[in-house]
Chains A and B, each alone.
Chain A
């Protein structure tokens, strides 16, 4: 199903960019933020035997990355449905 008008097409893309922007901020803050730039400060705290900054750099950022992609996939599927542009099972996108 194509978009009904130009405004909807623009709105869809704007919402898409918003989702990506929020998730990229999370992506950068766990890796570059917690894992590198503020690792030293965070190392004052600990999870079990892991200094917190070190944990983010070697464990936490990777877990967050995995979650981020699934959240992205979920949000985009919902967005597609809201705008009526989701792919139906019997209708492959192949052109």
Chain B
């Protein structure tokens, strides 16, 4: 069967599945719409969280980034997984005990302040909306690449699918769709990796394969990789030299704190029945995520080696353009690979040196996208990778949109402006704000702002510098009060925005950047993407200082904190006093 037909069939089947789930899981109450009635099994929630968390960037781009960065790419692996440890131990069980629907709701109640709640809503929307732009463009790119439609058509199809199950089913529909999406995504990612690992090393598990010897000549994969990339003139793959440890530490820390503070991930832990489930569910989530995240470095290393070996590492071994393999031709058509015969000898000279390099375009995304073809796998697996990429983008977009719409309908409308609306009206408001959020996200996807590339870093920075400290202090520091947390969130937000903008331009417009992107001006050599951790430290410091200088929170708030700290009611047994 024709490859393209097969892709249509596999992708079509998965969409039918998602829509089927949406019809089956309609939400009838606000509790179903916001938190799936708090009835989701911890393993199921773990799987849904994994799909929620792993975006198009994790699925399509991460392995490619690691393949080119080598050891330094570890920041993504550690940063995007280590945050779950913080989430499990510092936030999830306590917020679940609190037992409400949204993140700003906790902040508003804990800090007895509507102002704090509104600031939290603003931070949430800033973080989620900047993040959703990346998902929408990812959806558009994935659709256009796999379904051979143009970008706008692809984006429209994506919006309709998300609209269908997110507006109808709310959290309930999203949860069960995400479980299906996780399964599609993980199969699509691991099957090609297993085949490649088997071919190259004889080990079925890619995690072992990367540390094993090549079947061809008995050299270790990583040793061979180090050798090949240095022959090409790149830095040694596993080397730690020339990598700033301070920058790496802060980058990893920012991604970890950002991960723990991203509202669309936190609200997933509101859906389980018990505090105990929130703890174990975080473990299942990370387990499901780890399957992909420990496979990714193997995909990265092996694909990079495969690519270098195919293209040749010196003029003597250079591949003739005539003899290029079929996958090379296929991806040339998409423009992701581009060869320019500078020397005119018909050979592909690939090198780190830009003046002699003839692979003028070698998009990092092909590490994952072309993987099955490089390994010569059957065409149904290629179709599965297409469905996997789409599942990754759609599942994350839906989670983010729910976080945004619940903040609008529950926190702003019900919480601040119209406290008296009925549950039915609130459910309708939730659906309308979901539809609105999809429309805004879609608009931003059709007209991606110039700063689209910088948005993911900004989302993490905002979550790390504002929401995470406010939540953590609310649980662990009883003395934290309204004044402190408002000052802290604002300080964290401002510091983070200023640092990112001064180096990358106000709203990422280059000409307005007054310090320029040059590393010489970076604060202790910390790059803007890694600045969220600094913002968080500023937030903690300001919040604690201001709290100490102002009146302590009222007694009922201190009781509330006591209550949140224990799985069942914390108030003392009445007969003891």
Contacts and interface: CB of A to CB of B under 8 A. Distances in A.
Interface of A: 1-6, 9, 12-13, 16, 20, 23-24, 27, 31-32, 35-37, 39-40, 43, 47-51, 53-55, 57-59, 61-63, 65-66, 68-70, 72-73, 76-77, 80, 85-87, 91-95
Nearest to B282: A69
A39 B71 contact: yes
Given A1-B573, A61-B78, 9 more contacts: A35-B78, A43-B238, A48-B211, A49-B220, A51-B222, A57-B74, A61-B77, A87-B274, A93-B568
| Interface size classification for chain B | 35 or more
Contacts of A91: 568
Contacts of A63: 290, 294
Question: How would you classify the secondary structure of chain A's contact residues: helix, strand, loop or mixed?
Answer: helix
Nearest to B70: A54
B187 interface: no
B220 A62 contact: no
Contacts of B287: 66
A53 B274 CA distance: 38
A85 B566 contact: yes
A62 B565 CA distance: 28
A68 B84 CA distance: 10
Contacts of B290: 62-63, 65-66
Contacts of B565: 13, 16
Nearest to A28: B82
A4 B577 CA distance: 9
A5 B99 contact: no
B245 A62 contact: no
Question: Closest 9 CB pairs between A and B?
Answer: A49-B220, A57-B74, A69-B283, A48-B211, A73-B279, A50-B211, A58-B297, A40-B240, A73-B280
Nearest to B77: A58
Contacts of B562: 9
A4 B275 CA distance: 21
B570 A72 contact: no
Interface string B273-290: 111100110110011001
Contact of A2 (B81, B274, B280, B572): B572
Contacts of A87: 274-276, 567-568
A53 B81 CA distance: 18
A77 B204 CA distance: 36
